[in-house]
């Protein structure tokens, strides 16, 4: 019974989320795609909107929250993505670098709490994470090469 209830509540949550997203996108369709930042009020939520090429970004908060904070979060997101995606913030580059986009989102907000609004600090942390992952991958490759070399030398010596 509990599992059924949790399933239904989860389904309801997803449906409501999808409906909310659809309504938000519909209400923002008349807004300009020239990179202007717009504020919208919908279903007791504030949403800050910014479009770049074919990508639309939204930051949503409760109606009681300060709009300036929303705007600063969205600006930080946009600036970080612009720097990390080399100046082209569109759907294709966002999908190609989805790991960086998700890292930016993680460094920006965690559990609803705003962690950082300085885009350069966010970029630094994201780049650091990417470098550490890159280094670990390199280490594993170098370790694999070293072990292969050892095995070859042993076989040759026999």
Partner 1 sequence: MSVRKTCGEVAHGRQNNLHRIFVPRNCEESRVHTSALLALNTPIELAFLWHLLSLMSHTSLPSIQAIFLFDDEGKRVAIKYYDSKS
94 neighbors 57 (Cβ within 8 angstroms): no
x-or-dash string of contact with partner 1, 89-128, rule CB under 8 A: --x--xx--x--xx--x--xxxxxxx--------------
Alpha-helix residue ranges (DSSP H) falling in the chain: 2-28, 67-84, 91-96, 98-108, 119-157
Q: Does 24 bind partner 1 (CB under 8 A)?
A: yes
Q: To the nearest whole angstrom, how small is the minimum distance from the Cβ of residue 59 to partner 1? A: 5
**Maximum C-alpha span of the chain:** 76
| Nearer of residues 67 and 131 to partner 1, judged by Cβ | 67
Are 53 and 64 in contact by the 8 Å Cβ rule? The answer is: no
Number of residues that bind partner 1 (CB under 8 A): 37
Which of 53, 74, 58, 65 lies closest to 25, judged by CA?
A: 58
By CB under 8 A, name the binding residues for partner 1. Answer: 17, 21-22, 24-26, 33, 45, 54-62, 65-66, 69-70, 73, 77, 91, 94-95, 98, 101-102, 105, 108-114
């Amino acid at each position: 019974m509990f599992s059924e209830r949790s399933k239904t509540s989860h389904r309801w949550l997803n449906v409501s989320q999808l409906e909310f997203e659809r309504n938000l996108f519909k209400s923002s369709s008349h807004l300009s795609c020239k990179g202007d930042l717009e504020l919208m009020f919908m279903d007791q939520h504030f949403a800050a909107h910014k479009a770049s090429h074919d990508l639309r970004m939204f930051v949503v908060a409760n109606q009681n929250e300060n709009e300036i904070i929303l705007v600063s979060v969205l600006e930080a997101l946009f600036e970080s993505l612009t720097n990390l995606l080399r100046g082209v913030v569109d759907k294709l580059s966002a999908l190609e670098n989805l790991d960086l986009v998700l890292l930016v989102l993680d460094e920006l907000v965690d559990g609803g709490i705003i962690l950082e609004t300085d885009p350069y600090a966010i970029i630094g942390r994201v780049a650091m994470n990417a470098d550490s992952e890159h280094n670990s991958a390199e280490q594993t490759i170098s370790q694999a090469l070293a072990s292969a070399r050892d095995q070859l030398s042993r076989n040759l010596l026999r």
